[in-house]
Amino acid sequence: MGNLITQASILATFQKLTTAEVLAGMTFRAAYALNLEDRGKLEPGKKADFVTFKTNNFQNVLYNQEALKPNMFILTEIVFIK
């Protein structure tokens, strides 16, 4: 399978998807497809496991996937509170 971000970048190129469409497919749309409606979005009351990247442009996550390393992992099931 390989790296999820790399696979997503390849998919985006071949299917002509925007970065927002790819990230949506890896987050809330995937959660919805798995009937996990309590997660997938950063909203009050939803569970949030996520990774942050040090960048000022979210598109860099796909375009620079080998150069851009995660700077924080939130891997416990926490509830995101606004």
Q: What are the tens digits of pLDDT across the range 1-44?
A: 457 777 888 888 888 988 888 888 888 888 889 998 888 888 88
pLDDT at 68: 77
Runs of H (alpha helix) within 3-81:
4-15, 19-26, 28-33, 60-63
Helix, strand, or coil (residue 71): strand
- For the chain, the C-alpha Rg in angstroms (whole number) is 13
Helix, strand, or coil (residue 73): strand
pLDDT at 16: 92
How many of the other CB atoms lie within 10 Å of CB of 67?
7
pLDDT at 35: 92
Determine the average pLDDT of the residues in 64-70: 75
Determine the average pLDDT of the residues in 38-65: 80
pLDDT at 82: 44
